[in-house]
Structure formats: structure tokens, C-alpha cells
Structure 1
Amino acid sequence: MFEKVLVANRGEIAVRVMRACEELGIDTVAVYSDADKHSGHVRYADEAYNVGPARAADSYLDQEAIVDAAKQADADAIHPGYGFLAENAEFAALVEDTEGVTWVGPSSDAMQQLGEKTHARKTMRDADVPIVPGTTDPAESVEEVHEFGDEYGYPVAIKAEGGGGGRGMKIVRGPEEAEEQLESAQREGEAYFDNANVYLERYLENPRHIEVQIIADHDGNVRHLGERDCSLQRRHQKVVEEGPSPALTDDLREEIGEAARRGAEAAGYYNAGTFEFLVEEDPEREDGELLDTGTDFYFLEVNTRIQVEHTVTEELTGIDIVKYQIRVAAGEQLDFAQDDVELEGHAIEFRINAENAADDFAPATGGTLETYDPPGGIGVRMDDALRQGDELVTDYDSMVAKLIVHASDREECLARSERALAEYDVEGIPTIIPFHRLMLTDETFVTGKHTTKYLDQDLDEERVADAQEKWGSDAAASDADEDVVERDFTVEVNGKRFEVNLEERGAASLATNAGDGGGERPTPAGGESESETVVEGEGETVESEMQGTILSVEVEEGDEVDAGDVLVVLEAMKMENDVVASRGGTVTQVAVDPEDSVDMGDVLVVID
């Protein structure tokens, strides 16, 4: 077994992996960016190393920095969690080639074969796993999109090969949209996954999202651990996951599970993974009627890593998937047979995102957890890395915690969920807890008839606004005792983190440099520190409404624009956001370039 594992991630999933390591007697190493130096996963680890600035590309996505941290810490394994480099076959290969360090995951070859969607579709087709009608080679031109739409009809889905969770996916509803959406999908693929290749699929009108958890060892033993229903999504991002699916018969459930196991065997897959499928919902299905064998289902993709919603399967089966990931990576065999896997009761996971559901799920732009009091009691599990008083880090994903509820059946699980969500007290930042409480009163969700399009197309936005007003809370002002001054000082020696805490009572606030510690980068050459953009052009300034990264600049100085024209494409919280002109005029200044990081309020463009 390993002695020390570096977790190449942050937040709740990093803490989740560290807890599994602790129970296995393994020491843990955290990595963190400048933005995360006081985050929960850093507090939890035995050691922590700074790997770069806040921007993910310069820290959590810096492959060499992660491996260097593992070497400095003498870690003998790296666990990637999910997101960031978790599905990057190049990074997996780098770890595999690093002497004395083991990759906790599938082989880089399997990740290459199944992580890129066109390769995965070919593998599944050869294994007799149904696939959605679409291309098995990358699409490179607008003409190919037009030809596909002519053959299969619109809408057409354009998907990034390395994508997942809706990122890198664009919907073309007519030939006139093909060029714009193709370029956008390619751009997202390049920005998020370092892979601009895309493929085409028929876009299903009434799909349910059903996924199967797989665990396999190096000796060819493959087990599926049942399915999860992840159909409640907004903009293709999951918000609630549950298992077993409330819509499937046992026979259809087993048919889909065996298809997943067959696909894993054909790919020579080992470690944990998730095989995702789309199941055609029957809009005419009566209450109590279930989807049975003969229902169309199609392979969607393989996630070659642990999933956010792995917790649902753990509650149903009693199997610690993360521990098995580590054991398999250490060369151990699975110690249970397929017939030993039984699903007990019902489980639901609620993603606790720092978002305002009443404002189109807009992510929070900052805040402090003035109150953080999560629920407890029988059947309630919390996966988080937060504590009261933490400042919200907005540089990355908006999910801050997960609430998982388990009960004897779905009816009891829904009731227990209502109780747990009502107990969940968060003040200082917005969350989607009010939205979750609304869903537990929503007839379509309660009866299990929702599809992946339900939230975006059918849910009444006024109901969401009412829920936010009823159960939401405003950001609270700090009630900190002015007579007590506390400072956490961070000192780094050769990149390794050490912390010193100082508390003074009745003292004035301590003057400190911005950034709070030795991990900050020096000022630029010439001794000048960063400053606000100087507005040189005359006219109205267009400012950023959120922190993010500039993906593209669509205008130049001197361009004439109309109201509604796209000026800049901004990536924030893993979503592309078009910044548009509110009025027509002439562009007198462009203050940003592609790949620039911007904060809320930064000037992007000036229009006269």
C-alpha cells in the first residue's frame, strides 16, 4: 500500500480523497493556488505545496508543477479527484513515467481511448453497446455540420472530444447557427481540455441521463455498482443526482448495467469510471408506469475518473469507491463478485452551489461564510471543505459542498431531504438550497418524470424566484469582534507551506502586504505593482460582471457596433459568457486581450 498520496485537486473532493487515505493509514499532500492558501483541503492535509497563481492554467492545470510537488513531498501516488487534470491522458502518462509515483486511475492509454468521445464511440460500437447516431471521426468544417443536419435533422449537438458536463457542447438548431456554434465548441474544447476536436450527434428531444458506476482491477475483474439518474440539469450541468432511477424497471436497469460492463471489458479498463447513457423518456408515461426493456438507450460518454455523484452509489452499496480506487492502483484485486453488489434503499445528492437560482443560476462573486451550519442526523451525509468564517473562492467551480441523503425508499428519502435542507443554515453567500427545497415540492420531479431539459424549458422561473425569496438569505455583514485581531500568516520554504496564527486582543489591525503571505508573486520588473486599467478612450465603459478569463475579443478599436453585438467572450465558472453592447456606437478602446484574467468591475471595452 502507498505511504503518501498527493491529491491533485481542491475543495470537497480533495478532502473526500484525503479521508479515504487517512482510513487506509496513508499520509496526504495537498496542492493549492494563491487563491486557495486558506481553503479547507489545505487545512485537512498533512502537507501542502503552492503550485502557482490563482488562474487554474498556472496552478491546478500545471502538470510539471503538480509532479514536482509530489517529488518534493516524496509522495508515491497522485490521485486527481475530478475536474482539472483528472481526465487528461497526457498528465496520466507523465505520472506513469515518473519514477516512484503511481497514477490512481485508469491507464493513460484507456483514458486516451475512452476520454476522447470519438474513440469511445468506436469502442462501444465494436462492443455492441448502442450509440447515438453521430460521427466517429472529428468534424472540422461547417459543411460537415450542414450535411449531418440534412441527414439526421436539426437540432444537432456539437461536442468537444475532451468535454463533459455540458462544457464544450453546443446545440445547432438550424444551418444558420452552424458556423458560430462550431467555433464556440472548438474554442471551449481548446480552453478547457486542450483539445479543439469536436464530433456531431443527433440531439435527443426527451432524454433521461442514466449513468453506471464501474470499478475494475488490473486482472480483468469488472463490476458495475448500479445506476444513477442525473436527469435534473440546468444548461447540461447536473444539480441533483439519485439512485436507483425512479423511471427504470429492474430489467432495463440490468440491461444498461451489463452494457456498461461489456464496454469496460472491451476497453481493457481498470480503476473507477462512469459509463453515461441517454434513455428516451416516454412523454405519455402514466404515474407509476416505468420504462422497461425495449426502451431506446444510447451510450453517451465515459468519465475516466471518480464522479461528483459517486456518493450516491456509496450510500446504496456500502462500497467506498475511493478506497477501491487506491487499492486497485496499489495492485490489489477486487474482493467482491458482481452478485455481491446490492442496492439498498434510495439516495439523493444535492449539489450546493454558490449561485442564485433566481438570477439564472448566476455564480456568487464573493462573500464570507458568516454562518455555516450543515445538517446531520440519520441518513444524512455532508461532503464539504468549508468552515464558518471562510471567504468564498470564486476562481473555480461554484460548487462548495454536497448534501447526500439515504433512506429505505424514495418517498422516505424525499421527506428526509426536506428535513435536511431546512436544517442547512448558510449566511453570507447565496446558494441553491432554496431551489433544492422547491424541487422537493415539484410534481414533475417528485413523480420522476423529469428529463435533462425540464429545468431549462419547462420550470416556471417565478416559482424559483418565490423559493429564493422564501428560503434564501442575503449576504450578511460581518459581526466580528473588533477588539480581537486574528491573522493567519503563511510562510513558504521551497514551495512548502507552513502556517502561523497570531491573535491579539485590544490591538489595532496589523498592516500586511496584499495577498497575506510569502506565497505571493513579486511585483513585475521595474517595481510597478498591478493597477486598474487606465481608460483612454472616450465614451461608455463596458465592465466585467464577474471574475473570469477572456476567451476571445470580437471587436477592434474603430469598429461600429450595435446594441446586442458580442464584444468579448468571457469564461467564468466553466461557462462561456457573451459580453454584449448595451448601446450602439464606435469602439474607442479595447482594454483586454485573450487569456487575460479579469475581476468584477474591470473595464473591457469603451464605446462612444
Structure 2
Amino acid sequence: MFDKVLVANRGEIAVRVMRACEELDIGTVAVYSDADKDSGHVRYADEAYNVGPARAADSYLDHDAVVEAAQKAGADAIHPGYGFLAENAEFAGKVEDTEGVKWIGPSADSMQQLGEKTHARKTMREADVPIVPGTTDPVEEAEEVKKFGEEHGYPVAIKAEGGGGGRGMKVVRSAEEAEDQLESAKREGEAYFDNANVYLERYLENPRHIEVQIIADHHGNVRHLGERDCSLQRRHQKVIEEGPSPALTDELREKIAESARRGADAAGYYNAGTFEFLVEEDESRGPDELLGADANFYFLEVNTRIQVEHTVTEELTDIDIVKWQIRVAQDEELGFAQSDVDLEGHAMEFRINAENAADDFAPATGGQLTTYDPPGGIGVRMDDALRQGDDLVTDYDSMIAKLIVYGGDREECIVRSQRALAEYDIEGIPTIIPFHRLMLEDDEFVGGTHTTKYLDHHLDQDRIEEAQEKWGSDTTSPSSDEEVVEREFTVEVNGKRFEVELEERGAAAIPAGNAGSGGEKPQPAGGSDDGGSDASVDGDGESVAAEMQGTILDVNVSEGDEIASGDVVCVLEAMKMENDVVAERGGTVTQVAVAEGDSVDMGDVLVVIE
């Protein structure tokens, strides 16, 4: 077995992997950015290494920094979790080529073949797995999108090859939208997955989202662990996942699962992965009816990694998927046959996002967990990395924890989930717990007739606002005027040098030492004390400021441009979502204070308009 595993991730999934390692008597190594120095996964690990500034591209996505951290720590394996570098075939190949370090995941070749969606579609088609009509080669020009729309009809989905979870996906509803949506999808693909290639698919208007968990070893054994239903989504982001699906007959369930196994065999796949499918819903179907074996289903994509919702499958099968990932990477053979896999009971996972569902799921821009008291009891599992008093880190995904509930059947699971969510006490930041409680009283969700479009197109927004008012917690954090003084020291213990950071709160400032003494306050990578744009505002007119912390993906205006009210002046990425920043009034641009790639804080001036 491995001696030490570096987890190339953060937050709850990093802790989840570390717990599996601990039970296998394996040491753990965390990596962290400047923003995460006090985060839970750093506390949990046996040792931790800083890999760069807050911006993910400069830290968690820095291939060399992560590999160097593993080498410094003497780790003999790297587990990527999900997100960040988990589906990056280039990084996986780099780890495979690093002497003494193993990659806990599918091979780089498999990731290349299945992780990039155009390759995956070709593989599935050859394996006789049904696929949605679409392209199998990257799309470069808007004319290709228009031509596809003319042939197959609108709407058309543009998807990033390396994407998943709605990242890098844009929907084109007319030829006029093709160019802007194509550029936006490419931009997101580059920003999130280091891959700007995109492809096209016919956009299904009313599908269910069904996925099959796969685990395979190096000896040719492939097992499926049943399906999960992830149809409750907002803007293509899953919020509640459950298993088994409340909409499928056993015959349809088996057809989809066998398609996933067939696809994994055809790709020579090993380790954990998820085969995702879209199932066409019968809009006339009632809660007491199920979709039969004649229902249409289509391959969507393969996630060549562990998924957020793997916990649902673990509750249903009593199989620790993360442990088997580690064992497979050590060339162990799967210790169970397909006939040994039984799905018992029902499980649901609730993503606890730091968002205000009543405000269009707007992510929190800061705050402190003044109260953090998660639920417990029979059938309740918490995956988190938080503790009371922690500050909210807003530089990354808004999901801060996961609540997983198990019951003997779906009815018991729903009742137990209502109890667990009512017990979950979080104050200091907004969360979508009130939204989850609403869903457990919603006829469509309880009846299992919802589709991926339900939240975005059918749910009454007033009901979400009422739920937030009824069940929302206190989101105010106590203010503190105490001064925090930071210093860095280099110390030596038994001949080994260490960099030590010291924080003093509420004390008088420590005088800075001379250059080279270790007494200077460290400067952020961006060159300004606040880590954001260091441009001064010298233009005349009204300022357009950032409404949240994030990264500038694109600047659409230049000094001297004439713009109208409502024009997009720049695109701000926050919480892995693109946000158009628009001018509230027209005029002449007198200053552009930011550039592509800049990090900005809430309130930073972006553009000045006269």
C-alpha cells in the first residue's frame, strides 16, 4: 500500500480522501493556496504545502507546483479529488512520468479518450451506446454552429471538451447568438479546464439526468454500482442527487447500466468514473408511473474521476469508492463480482452551497461561520471541512459541505432529510438549506416527475423567497476592528529550515525590520496590498465597480468607446460562473482600470464612464 498520498484539492473532498487514506494507514499531504491557509483540509492533513496565490490558475491548477509539493513531501501517489486537475490528461501524464509517484485515477490515455467529449462520443458510438446527435470534432467558427442549427434545429448546446457540471456549456437559441455563445464557451473551457475546444449537441428540452457509477481494475474487471438521478439542477448545476432514480423501471435501469459497462470496456477504462446519460421524459407521466425500457436515452459524457455525488452510491452499496480508487491504483483486483452489488434503500445528497437561492442563487461574497452545528443521527452523513469560526473562502466553488441522508425507502429518506435539514444550524453566511427544505415539500420533486429544466423554467420564484424568509438563518458576522499584523520568519530546527507565519490580533503593529531581516509584510502576487487590481482611478465620470470578488475573463470596452445603458463592459468570473458586468448608464469610457486575468475584490473600480 502507499505510504503517503498528496490530495491535489481542497475543502470537503480533500478531507473525504484523507479519511479513506487514514483508514488504510496511509499518510496524507495537503496543498493550499494563500486564500486557503486556514482551511479545514489543511488542518486535517498530516502535512501541508503552499502552492501559490489565491487564483486557481496560479495554485491548484499549477501542474509543476503540485508535483513539486508531492516530491518535497515524499508522497508516492497523488489523488486529484474532483474539479481542478482531476480530469486534466496532461497533468495525469505528468504524474505518471514522475518517478516514484503514482496517479490515483484512470490512465492519461483513457482520460484523453473519454474526458474530452468529442473523443468520448466516437468511442461510445463504436460501442453501440446511443449518443445525442452532435459533432465529433472540435468546432472553431460560428458558421459551424449556424449550419448545425439549420440541420438539427435550435436550440443547440455548445460544450467544452474538458467540461462538466455545466461549466463551459452555452445554449444557442438562434443564429444571432452563435458567435457570442461560442466565444463564451471557449473562454470558460480555457479558464476552468485549460482546454478551449468545444463541440455541438442537439439540446434536449426536457430530459432527466441519469448517471452510472463505474469502478474497474487493471485486470479487466468492470463493475457498475447502479445509477443516480441528478435531474434537479439550476443552470446545469446539480443541487440534489439521489439514488435509485424515482423515475425508472428496473428494465430501463439495467439497459442504461449495461450501456455504461459496455462503454467502459470499449475504452479499456480503469479506476472510478461516471457515465452520464440523458433520458427523455414523458411529460404526461404521473408520479405513480415509471419510464419503461422503450424510453429514449442518450450518452452525455464520462467524468473520468470521482464525483461530488459518489456518496449516494456508497450509502446504497456499502462500497467505499475512494478506497477502491486507491487499491486499484496499487494494482489490486476488485474484491466483488457484479452479482454482489446490491442497491438497498434510498439515499439523497444535498449540496450545501454558500448561496442565496432567493437572489437567483447569488454566491456569498464573504462572511464567517458564527454558528456551525451540523445534523446527526441514524442515516445522516456529513462530508465537510468546516468548523465554527471559520471565514468563508470565496475564491472557488460555492459548495461548502454535503449532507447525505439514507433511508429504507424514498419516503423514509425524505422524512429523515427534512429532520436533518431542520437540525442543520449555520449562521454568518447564506446557504441554500431553505431551498432544500422547500424541495422536500414540492409536489414535482416528491413525485419524481421533475426534469433538468424544472428549477430554471417552472418553479415559482416566490416560493423560494418565502422559504428563505421562513427558514433562512442569520447571515451577519460580528464585526471586528482589531488589527491583524502578519510577519514571516525563517527558523531552523535540527538543521532544517522552515518558513513560519505569525499573526498578532489586537496588538500594536510590530515594527518592520530591515530588508532581508524577515520582518517585511509579504506582498500579494498581483503587486497590490489587497491582491486585486492596483490601477488608480483617474478617469472622469461614473465608476462601474465589481459586485463580487473574482477574476476578469474579458474586457469588452476601450477608452474612448461610446456605450449605451445595458452594454456589457467586461466579464467577471466568480464561483466558477461567468457574470456579465453591464453599464447602468450610457456615455464615453474614460478609463478601463482592469485587464484580462486581473483579480478584483468587491467594490473595485472596473470602468469609468462619463
TM-score, normalized by length of structure 1? 0.95
Structure 1 residues 133 and 261: CA distance shift in structure 2, 3 A: same
Q: Which region of structure 1 is more displaced relative to structure 2, 171-180 or 530-539? A: 530-539
Alpha-carbon distance in 2 for matches of 1:526, 1:87: 32
* Matched letter for residue 573 of structure 1: M
User: Any residues of structure 2 matched to 1:444-593 within 5 Å, and which?
Assistant: 444-478=444-478, 509=507, 511=509, 521-522=522-523, 533-593=535-595
The question of whether the paired residues in 1 share the 8 Å contact of 2:286 and 2:449 is answered with: no
Alpha-carbon distance in 1 for matches of 2:444, 2:196: 37
Alpha-carbon distance in 1 for matches of 2:304, 2:520: 33
SS in 1 for 2:21: helix
Aligned to 1:88: 88
The question of whether the paired residues in 2 share the 8 Å contact of 1:50 and 1:497 is answered with: no
**Aligned pair 1:269/2:269, yes or no?**
yes
By how many angstroms is 1:511 displaced?
A: 3.6
Structure 1 residues 197 and 527: CA distance shift in structure 2, 3 A: closer
By how many angstroms is 1:518 displaced?
A: 9.5
Alpha-carbon distance in 1 for matches of 2:401, 2:338: 31
Alpha-carbon distance in 2 for matches of 1:573, 1:258: 36
The question of whether the paired residues in 1 share the 8 Å contact of 2:145 and 2:178 is answered with: yes
Alpha-carbon distance in 2 for matches of 1:495, 1:414: 54
Structure 1 residues 491 and 346: CA distance shift in structure 2, 3 A: farther
Alpha-carbon distance in 2 for matches of 1:527, 1:421: 42
Aligned to 1:301: 301
**Aligned pair 1:594/2:596, yes or no?**
yes
The question of whether the paired residues in 1 share the 8 Å contact of 2:528 and 2:534 is answered with: no
Alpha-carbon distance in 2 for matches of 1:518, 1:273: 49
User: Any residues of structure 2 matched to 1:196-595 within 5 Å, and which?
Assistant: 196-478=196-478, 509=507, 511=509, 521-522=522-523, 533-595=535-597
* Matched letter for residue 319 of structure 2: I
Alpha-carbon distance in 2 for matches of 1:237, 1:521: 37
The question of whether the paired residues in 2 share the 8 Å contact of 1:532 and 1:602 is answered with: no
Structure 1 residues 228 and 581: CA distance shift in structure 2, 3 A: same
SS in 2 for 1:277: strand
SS in 1 for 2:189: helix
User: Any residues of structure 2 matched to 1:49-128 within 5 Å, and which?
Assistant: 49-128=49-128
The question of whether the paired residues in 1 share the 8 Å contact of 2:487 and 2:520 is answered with: no
SS in 1 for 2:245: coil
By how many angstroms is 1:43 displaced?
A: 0.2
Q: Which region of structure 1 is more displaced relative to structure 2, 530-539 or 425-434? A: 530-539
Structure 1 residues 227 and 589: CA distance shift in structure 2, 3 A: same
The question of whether the paired residues in 1 share the 8 Å contact of 2:131 and 2:300 is answered with: yes
Aligned to 2:515: none
Q: Which region of structure 1 is more displaced relative to structure 2, 531-540 or 272-281? A: 531-540
The question of whether the paired residues in 2 share the 8 Å contact of 1:34 and 1:520 is answered with: no
SS in 2 for 1:571: strand
Alpha-carbon distance in 1 for matches of 2:524, 2:596: 22
* Matched letter for residue 562 of structure 1: A
> CA-to-partner distance for each residue in 1:178-231, whole Å, 9 max, x for gaps?
111111111111111111111110000111000000000001100000000000
Aligned to 1:146: 146
Aligned to 1:35: 35
* Residue-pair matches, total: 600
SS in 2 for 1:69: helix
The question of whether the paired residues in 2 share the 8 Å contact of 1:47 and 1:497 is answered with: no
By how many angstroms is 1:522 displaced?
A: 4.0
Structure 1 residues 287 and 588: CA distance shift in structure 2, 3 A: same
By how many angstroms is 1:102 displaced?
A: 0.1
The question of whether the paired residues in 2 share the 8 Å contact of 1:137 and 1:199 is answered with: yes
Alpha-carbon distance in 2 for matches of 1:529, 1:205: 44
Alpha-carbon distance in 2 for matches of 1:328, 1:263: 19
The question of whether the paired residues in 1 share the 8 Å contact of 2:77 and 2:102 is answered with: yes
* Matched letter for residue 473 of structure 2: S
Alpha-carbon distance in 2 for matches of 1:566, 1:512: 45
* Matched letter for residue 599 of structure 1: D
> CA-to-partner distance for each residue in 1:556-583, whole Å, 9 max, x for gaps?
0110111110100111111111001101
> CA-to-partner distance for each residue in 1:403-428, whole Å, 9 max, x for gaps?
00000000000000000000000000
Query: What runs of 5+ residues in structure 2 fail to find an aligned partner?
Result: 513-517
Structure 1 residues 587 and 8: CA distance shift in structure 2, 3 A: same
SS in 2 for 1:601: coil
Identity %: 77
Structure 1 residues 275 and 526: CA distance shift in structure 2, 3 A: closer
TM-score, normalized by length of structure 2? 0.94
Q: Which region of structure 1 is more displaced relative to structure 2, 379-388 or 489-498? A: 489-498
Aligned to 2:134: 134
The question of whether the paired residues in 1 share the 8 Å contact of 2:7 and 2:14 is answered with: yes
The question of whether the paired residues in 2 share the 8 Å contact of 1:273 and 1:305 is answered with: yes
Alpha-carbon distance in 2 for matches of 1:498, 1:74: 21
By how many angstroms is 1:477 displaced?
A: 3.6
* Matched letter for residue 545 of structure 2: E
The question of whether the paired residues in 2 share the 8 Å contact of 1:533 and 1:602 is answered with: no
Aligned to 1:12: 12
SS in 2 for 1:383: strand
* Matched letter for residue 562 of structure 2: E
The question of whether the paired residues in 1 share the 8 Å contact of 2:488 and 2:522 is answered with: no
The question of whether the paired residues in 1 share the 8 Å contact of 2:488 and 2:521 is answered with: no
The question of whether the paired residues in 1 share the 8 Å contact of 2:551 and 2:573 is answered with: yes
After the TM superposition, which segments of 4 or more aligned residues of structure 1 sit over 6 Å from their partners? 479-482, 485-502, 517-520, 523-531
Alpha-carbon distance in 2 for matches of 1:377, 1:231: 27
Alpha-carbon distance in 2 for matches of 1:448, 1:593: 46
Query: What runs of 5+ residues in structure 1 fail to find an aligned partner?
Result: none
Structure 1 residues 487 and 435: CA distance shift in structure 2, 3 A: farther
Alpha-carbon distance in 1 for matches of 2:568, 2:169: 19
* Matched letter for residue 591 of structure 1: A
SS in 1 for 2:324: helix
By how many angstroms is 1:528 displaced?
A: 8.8
Alpha-carbon distance in 1 for matches of 2:605, 2:481: 36
The question of whether the paired residues in 2 share the 8 Å contact of 1:274 and 1:302 is answered with: yes
The question of whether the paired residues in 2 share the 8 Å contact of 1:492 and 1:519 is answered with: no
Alpha-carbon distance in 1 for matches of 2:107, 2:188: 25
> CA-to-partner distance for each residue in 1:371-411, whole Å, 9 max, x for gaps?
00000000000000000000000000000000000000000
SS in 2 for 1:300: strand
> CA-to-partner distance for each residue in 1:458-481, whole Å, 9 max, x for gaps?
011110011111110232342999
The question of whether the paired residues in 1 share the 8 Å contact of 2:523 and 2:529 is answered with: no
The question of whether the paired residues in 1 share the 8 Å contact of 2:485 and 2:509 is answered with: no
The question of whether the paired residues in 2 share the 8 Å contact of 1:34 and 1:519 is answered with: no
* Matched letter for residue 17 of structure 1: V
Alpha-carbon distance in 1 for matches of 2:526, 2:56: 23
Alpha-carbon distance in 2 for matches of 1:222, 1:512: 61
The question of whether the paired residues in 1 share the 8 Å contact of 2:53 and 2:524 is answered with: no
Alpha-carbon distance in 2 for matches of 1:492, 1:171: 53
The question of whether the paired residues in 1 share the 8 Å contact of 2:484 and 2:506 is answered with: no
Alpha-carbon distance in 2 for matches of 1:49, 1:512: 26
Alpha-carbon distance in 2 for matches of 1:239, 1:193: 22
* Matched letter for residue 582 of structure 2: V
* Matched letter for residue 85 of structure 1: L
SS in 2 for 1:139: coil
Alpha-carbon distance in 2 for matches of 1:282, 1:337: 34
